[in-house]
């Protein structure tokens, strides 16, 4: 019991450190956000004062068009930067409540010291951007948490398989920076973690629960060998969760190629679209400028559609 208490104290100290890093990043982003917002307001207010307008000669018209384009591009770039900061602030706000849910200690072949991998919904670097404090659940190394019990394990990278050994698998329930539950297991998911993730109160919105992904679901989510993938299962087996988690994974994995324009989701009705509308943002989205996936009620016969934020 004493050893368990010491372990919990050490883990809480790490959570406290992570919370400090999050607060530090939030303060920096807030300062940048204020500066950019003021810059955007000033550019909008003085847009035409900073543009050279002369329509007397053809050359003057071309110069005027170039001046307007340059000013518009500058304003657009500042607005995108402000939006990107707002997106990062939202991510940090989510991490502040529940920074991570899992930990694995992994020793690579030929290494002498194992590395502790903490897994959450988004990646978090330290303020020097040298150490990874939290790994995104979609990162290649995070698949170890879902696919293996204690013992020999491996994960795929662009350079090939990385093999090693898992000596510890730990699950956390963290709320508002405080560890509410912590337990070691040789399985992917413990019933206590699933019950806590689902919560005691009913909700009209679907929960993402990436901490409770099972090995079979993880194979569906990370499958990139097949162009077409059909998932069959009984009601309540997790088909919809796996599909949305797969979207989030693919948009993370191919974030330079995929965006909301590449995604189309057919839903039974608008109620279902509303039910799943918060899942993709909770999963971490695509790690790019926020957008929307169009959803079409497949059985209505109408052309109207709603949009799910990512």
Task: Identify the pLDDT of residue 282.
Answer: 62
User: Strand order of the sheet with strand 264-267?
Assistant: 264-267, 292-297, 306-309
Task: Identify the pLDDT of residue 245.
Answer: 82
Best CA proximity match to 101, nearest among 193, 7, 215: 193
Task: Identify the pLDDT of residue 310.
Answer: 47
Q: Tens digits of per-residue pLDDT, 219-270?
A: 888 888 888 888 888 887 778 888 888 888 888 787 778 776 777 778 777 7
Task: Identify the pLDDT of residue 124.
Answer: 93
| DSSP letter assigned to residue 79 | H
Cα–Cα distance between 115 and 113 in angstroms, integer?
Answer: 7
Which positions of the chain have pLDDT values less than 70?
A: 1, 47-61, 67, 186-209, 211-212, 260, 278-310
- Predicted TM-score of the model (pTM): 0.69
Cα–Cα distance between 79 and 86 in angstroms, integer?
Answer: 11
Domain residue spans of the chain: 2-96, 98-199, 202-310
């Amino acid at each position: 019991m004493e050893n368990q208490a010491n372990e919990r104290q050490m883990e809480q100290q790490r959570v406290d450190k992570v919370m400090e890093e999050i607060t530090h990043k939030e303060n920096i982003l807030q300062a940048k956000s204020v500066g950019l917002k003021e810059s955007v307001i000033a550019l909008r207010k003085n847009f035409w004062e900073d543009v050279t307008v002369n329509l007397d000669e053809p050359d003057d018209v071309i110069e005027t068009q170039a001046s307007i384009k340059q000013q518009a591009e500058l304003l657009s770039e500042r607005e995108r930067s402000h939006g990107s900061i707002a997106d990062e602030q939202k991510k940090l706000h989510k991490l502040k409540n529940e920074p991570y849910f899992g930990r694995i200690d992994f020793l690579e072949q030929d290494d002498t010291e194992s590395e502790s991998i903490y897994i959450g919904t988004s990646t978090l670097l330290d303020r020097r951007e040298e150490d990874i404090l939290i790994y995104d659940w979609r990162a290649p190394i995070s698949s170890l948490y879902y696919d293996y019990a204690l013992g020999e394990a491996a994960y795929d990278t662009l350079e090939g398989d990385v093999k090693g050994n898992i000596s510890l698998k730990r699950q956390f329930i963290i709320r508002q920076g405080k560890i509410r539950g912590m337990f070691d297991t040789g399985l992917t998911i413990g019933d206590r973690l699933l019950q806590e993730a689902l919560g005691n109160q009913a909700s009209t919105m679907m929960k993402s629960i990436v901490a409770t992904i099972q090995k079979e679901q993880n194979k569906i989510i990370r499958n990139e060998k097949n162009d077409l993938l059909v998932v069959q299962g009984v009601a309540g087996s997790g088909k919809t969760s796996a599909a949305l988690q797969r979207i989030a994974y693919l948009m993370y994995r191919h974030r330079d190629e995929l965006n909301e324009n590449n995604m189309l989701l057919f839903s039974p009705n608008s109620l279902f679209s509303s039910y799943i509308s918060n899942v993709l943002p909770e999963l971490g989205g695509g790690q790019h400028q926020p957008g929307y996936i169009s959803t079409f009620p497949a059985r209505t016969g109408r052309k109207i559609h709603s949009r799910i934020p990512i």
